[in-house]
């Protein structure tokens, strides 16, 4: 049982009685959203228990778990006493696996330099700590077998203590295999150790096969053990003992390792994160050789910080090199983020593309191995193989739209957000906010955009300034302004409203900081991009209230028309009705106003529009009672098919120029 409470409810190992409501771990509701269920299943968490009441039946401390918690608490104290507060969160993540004190800004900076692995308990960490500890024991004249057993036991203990991550346990198994080779005087086989680690981990939790950390950890090792020896075979060269020669050799080997790992993990990074750090390989040439210094410095600072008296001062001194280097990494991240292209947003490739890439990679390696064996692996062979790899990368990154117009209604809980995409590469957002989901911009809207390979949003339309329509948009603008997002936003389209002028000014300020042009629109305004037309049908002026003065948009392309109504009601709805009476057309999609409230979408309005499909965006069991029974009855009476996004997940309507195909994110149900 794992608890999310910071309060200690019982000693590890105690027998407890729990009463609560079992809830399924949610599936991702939108494309690109974090797959919480896969993540937890891989860690053997099958259910959430909400509103749990816990009683201790029998207090019985598990000695191993108790000692682990004691060691971890001592490590926290050591870090807090010896290490400057500015980098405490980073050292906590590196040494204990706890990321609670790690700021979003720090995560972003490490991502942009391709250094996210530094913040995880990785194979590099455990190799340094394990072999370092083993060598210390040997220096103390501890017998080989005893030093090996103690060092292996310590590494497994440490791996479990820091959260039993896939990368940590993989490294622990491979370290134990290395120690076994020393004890039994056998040759250590890198790939055999990797295979053993994968078998043991998957036997314990088969669903790790879907886990990004497991795949990336083994992918990186495969890059070093399989790809690097073939692409960059070791040749007998004269040893250059000069400092310049050693540095050149180190940089060359670092570059080769970086390229090999990059090639091995590229599809995984694209599939799980939708973007690739452009300068990661080059920056890691400087970062990777110094990570050991950071780690050793942190360990010394932590250990000395646990001890009493003046040894804390020694701990602070020991932590200085690591602190300086970490601050250097952060500065490098800030500089890289200012470059024109710091992150390559790729989108999420189809699984068949990932498979095809690995087949091409395998074919290139087999050809090189065959030619090398026959001593014919010359320049031409290598050029052909690199060409094949280039084709694989192109296949992964090339996205050919199978639609003319795509409209996606995102599940943002109690709120609204829709995205308009065209086959020409245009992208527009209509609203983006939620009152039930925190950080909706960061965790739902932004991942969706990245998963679609969106590098530029041509415009964002904000219907009105209520939080459930705009707070996610504000997050997007703030992230762009801070450099946390590589997506550029060109225009922000607002409509005048006296009631919410102060909120609008705050949003405009964010837009200006993000380099986004603010445009005011009202009834009669048209925004055109090629054949795509956004026509503003409301408000006429700024005198209307926030809801009835919602920005109402008609989105048209060829013979496809959809209507977006914000929280429109009252006089705003009457004004729109008058305009629609003069310009009658067949409507494909209607975003039902105000999340399906009782006083919106009147009988007259629905009769006039009568769309093929209505979309209601609201949260499950929300406190407002949306959608209202009377509204659902009106829709049923008029035989208008309406879907609630919380039930279906994101709703995608693809128009190919003739027909519309609608798919739901949950279950991939299709409507023609």
Residue 232 has pLDDT above 60, yes or no: yes
Answer yes or no: do 444 and 295 share one domain. Answer: no
Residue 481 has pLDDT above 70, yes or no: yes
The residue among 657, 658, 662, 652 whose CA lies nearest residue 420 is 652
**Residue 327 burial (CB < 10 Å; 0-12/13-18/19+)?**
middle
Task: Let me know: does 451 contact 652? Beta carbons within 8 Å.
Answer: no
Read off the pLDDT of each residue in 441-454 and give the average, rounded to a whole number. 97
**Residue 286 burial (CB < 10 Å; 0-12/13-18/19+)?**
middle
pLDDT tens, 49-74? 887 778 888 777 667 777 888 888 89
In a domain, 57, yes or no: yes
Answer yes or no: do 519 and 572 share one domain. Answer: yes
Find where tokens 């250097």 sit: 328
pLDDT at residue 536, rounded to an integer: 96
Residue 347 has pLDDT above 80, yes or no: yes
Read off the pLDDT of each residue in 91-112 and give the average, rounded to a whole number. 89
Answer yes or no: do 665 and 596 share one domain. Answer: yes
In a domain, 495, yes or no: yes
β partners of residue 661: 654
Window from 5-9, 139-143, 268-272 with minimum mean pLDDT: 5-9
In a domain, 487, yes or no: yes
Kindly compute the dihedral angle of the four CA atoms of residues 406, 411, 415, 417, in this order, to the nearest 10 degrees: -20
The residue among 509, 514, 446, 443 whose CA lies nearest residue 483 is 514
66: Cα within 13 Å, side-chain hemisphere: 9
**Residue 450 burial (CB < 10 Å; 0-12/13-18/19+)?**
buried
Answer yes or no: do 42 and 142 share one domain. Answer: no
Report the alpha-carbon angle 587-468-521, nearest 5.
55
Q: How far is the C-alpha of 296 from the C-alpha of 368, rounded, in Å?
A: 39
Query: How much of the chain is in helix, strand and coil states, percent to nearest 5?
Result: 50, 15, 30
Answer yes or no: do 32 and 142 share one domain. Answer: no
Answer yes or no: do 161 and 252 share one domain. Answer: yes
Answer yes or no: do 242 and 196 share one domain. Answer: yes
Find where tokens 């995560």 sit: 107
The residues near 631 (Cβ < 8 Å, ≥ 6 apart) are: 592, 596, 597, 598, 600, 601
In a domain, 85, yes or no: yes
Work out the pLDDT band at 270, boundaries 50, 70, 90.
Answer: very high
Answer yes or no: do 179 and 234 share one domain. Answer: yes
Read off the pLDDT of each residue in 29-48 and give the average, rounded to a whole number. 93
pLDDT tens, 586-616? 999 999 999 999 989 999 999 999 999 999 9
pLDDT at residue 288, rounded to an integer: 81
Residue 534 has pLDDT above 80, yes or no: yes
- What are the DSSP calls for 121-169, one per residue? --HHHHHHHHHHHHHHHHHTT--HHHHHHHHHHHHHHHHHHTT--HHHH
pLDDT tens, 106-151? 998 999 988 888 888 877 788 888 998 999 999 999 999 999 999 9
Residue 672 has pLDDT above 60, yes or no: no
Task: Let me know: does 424 contact 405? Beta carbons within 8 Å.
Answer: no
Q: How far is the C-alpha of 647 from the C-alpha of 26, rounded, in Å?
A: 12
The DSSP code for 26 is P
Read off the pLDDT of each residue in 473-477 and give the average, rounded to a whole number. 97
In a domain, 346, yes or no: no
In a domain, 420, yes or no: yes
Read off the pLDDT of each residue in 70-86 and give the average, rounded to a whole number. 90
Task: Let me know: does 418 contact 564? Beta carbons within 8 Å.
Answer: yes
pLDDT at residue 237, rounded to an integer: 58
Report residue 153 as tokens.
């036991």
Structural Rg of the chain based on CA atoms: 29
Work out the pLDDT band at 235, boundaries 50, 70, 90.
Answer: low
pLDDT tens, 603-661? 999 999 999 999 999 999 999 999 999 999 999 999 999 999 999 999 999 999 999 99
Q: How far is the C-alpha of 291 from the C-alpha of 273, rounded, in Å?
A: 24
Answer yes or no: do 459 and 559 share one domain. Answer: yes
Report the alpha-carbon angle 469-470-471, nearest 5.
115
pLDDT at residue 436, rounded to an integer: 95
pLDDT tens, 272-296? 999 999 888 888 888 888 888 999 9
Window from 6-10, 58-62, 205-209, 488-492 with minimum mean pLDDT: 6-10
Q: Which residue has the higher pLDDT, 374 or 34?
A: 34
Collect contacts of 656-662 with beta carbons under 8 A, ≥24 apart. 656/402, 656/403, 656/404, 657/404, 657/558, 660/560, 660/588, 660/612, 662/613
pLDDT at residue 70, rounded to an integer: 84
Say how many domains are in the chain.
4
pLDDT at residue 581, rounded to an integer: 92
Work out the pLDDT band at 236, boundaries 50, 70, 90.
Answer: low
Answer yes or no: do 549 and 618 share one domain. Answer: yes
pLDDT at residue 360, rounded to an integer: 94
Q: Which residue has the higher pLDDT, 174 or 255?
A: 174
pLDDT tens, 394-409? 999 888 899 999 999 9
pLDDT tens, 463-473? 999 999 999 99
For 276, the domain range is 65-341
pLDDT at residue 210, rounded to an integer: 92
**CATH number of domain containing 622:** 3.60.15.10
Answer yes or no: do 69 and 56 share one domain. Answer: no
Answer yes or no: do 385 and 473 share one domain. Answer: no
In a domain, 494, yes or no: yes
Read off the pLDDT of each residue in 381-400 and give the average, rounded to a whole number. 88
Average pLDDT over the chain, rounded to an integer: 90
Work out the pLDDT band at 671, boundaries 50, 70, 90.
Answer: low
pLDDT at residue 64, rounded to an integer: 76
Residue 258 has pLDDT above 90, yes or no: no
Work out the pLDDT band at 7, boundaries 50, 70, 90.
Answer: low
Residue 669 has pLDDT above 60, yes or no: no
pLDDT tens, 158-170? 888 888 888 889 9
In a domain, 8, yes or no: no
Percentage of the chain modeled with pLDDT above 90: 63
């Amino acid at each position: 049982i794992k608890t999310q409470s910071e309060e200690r409810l019982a000693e590890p190992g105690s027998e407890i009685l729990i009463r609560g409501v079992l809830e399924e771990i949610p599936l991702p509701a939108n494309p690109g959203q974090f797959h919480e269920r896969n993540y937890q299943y891989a860690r053997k968490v099958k259910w959430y228990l909400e509103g749990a009441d816990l009683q201790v039946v029998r207090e019985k401390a598990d000695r191993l778990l108790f000692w682990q918690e004691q060691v971890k608490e001592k490590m926290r104290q050591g870090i807090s006493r010896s290490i400057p507060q500015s980098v405490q969160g980073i050292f906590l993540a590196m040494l204990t696996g706890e990321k609670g004190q790690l700021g979003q800004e720090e995560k972003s900076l490490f991502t942009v330099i391709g250094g996210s692995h530094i913040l995880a308990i990785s194979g590099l960490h455990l190799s340094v700590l394990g072999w370092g500890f083993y060598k210390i024991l040997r220096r103390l004249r501890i017998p080989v077998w005893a030093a090996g057993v103690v060092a292996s036991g310590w590494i497994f203990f440490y791996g479990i203590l820091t959260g039993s991550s896939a990368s940590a346990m993989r490294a622990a198994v491979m370290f134990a295999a290395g120690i076994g080779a020393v004890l039994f005087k056998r040759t250590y086989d890198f790939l055999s150790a990797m295979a053993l680690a994968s078998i043991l981990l998957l036997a314990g939790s088969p669903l790790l096969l879907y886990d990004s950390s497991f795949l990336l950890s083994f992918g990186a090792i495969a890059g070093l053990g399989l790809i690097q020896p073939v692409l960059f075979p070791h040749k007998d060269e004269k040893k250059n003992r000069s400092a310049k020669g050693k540095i050149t050799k180190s940089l060359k080997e670092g570059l080769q390792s970086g390229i090999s790992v990059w090639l091995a993990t590229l599809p995984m990074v694209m599939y799980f994160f939708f973007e690739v750090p452009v300068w990661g390989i080059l920056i890691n040439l400087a970062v990777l050789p110094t990570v050991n210094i950071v780690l050793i410095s942190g360990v010394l600072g932590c250990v000395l910080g646990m001890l009493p008296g003046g040894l804390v001062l020694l701990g602070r001194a020991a932590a200085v090199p690591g602190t300086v280097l970490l601050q250097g990494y952060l500065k490098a991240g800030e500089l890289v983020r200012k470059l024109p292209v710091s992150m390559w947003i790729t989108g999420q490739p189809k699984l068949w593309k990932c498979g095809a890439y690995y087949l091409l990679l395998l074919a290139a390696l087999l050809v090189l191995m065959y030619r090398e064996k026959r001593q014919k692996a010359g320049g031409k062979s290598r050029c052909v193989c690199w060409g094949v790899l280039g084709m694989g990368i192109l296949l992964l990154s090339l996205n050919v739209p199978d639609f003319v117009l795509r409209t996606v209604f995102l599940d943002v809980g109690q709120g609204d957000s829709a995205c308009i995409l065209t086959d020409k590469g245009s992208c527009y957002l209509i609203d983006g906010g939620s009152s039930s989901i925190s950080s909706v911009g960061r965790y739902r809207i932004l991942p969706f955009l990245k998963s679609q390979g969106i590098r530029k949003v041509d415009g964002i339309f904000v219907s009105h300034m209520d939080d459930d329509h705009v707070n996610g948009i504000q997050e997007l603008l703030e992230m762009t302004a801070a450099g946390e997002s590589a997506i550029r936003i060109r225009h922000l389209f607002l409509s005048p409203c006296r009631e919410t002028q102060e909120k609008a000014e705050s949003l405009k300020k964010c837009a200006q900081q993000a380099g986004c042009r603010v445009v005011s629109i009202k009834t009669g305004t048209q925004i055109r991009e090629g054949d795509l037309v956004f026509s503003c049908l409301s408000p006429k002026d700024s005198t209307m209230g926030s809801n009835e003065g919602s920005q109402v948009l008609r989105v048209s392309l060829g013979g496809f028309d959809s209507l977006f109504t914000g929280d429109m009601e009252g006089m705003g709805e009457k004004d729109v009705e008058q305009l629609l009476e003069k310009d009658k057309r067949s409507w494909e999609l209607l975003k039902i106003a105000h999340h399906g409230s009782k006083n919106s979408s009147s009988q007259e309005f629905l009769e006039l529009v009568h769309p093929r499909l209505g979309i209601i965006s609201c949260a499950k069991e929300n406190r407002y009672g949306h959608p209202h029974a009377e509204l659902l009855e009106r829709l049923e009476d008029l035989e208008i098919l309406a879907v609630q996004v919380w039930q279906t997940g994101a709703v995608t309507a693809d128009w190919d120029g003739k027909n519309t195909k609608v798919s739901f994110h949950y279950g991939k149900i299709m409507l023609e």
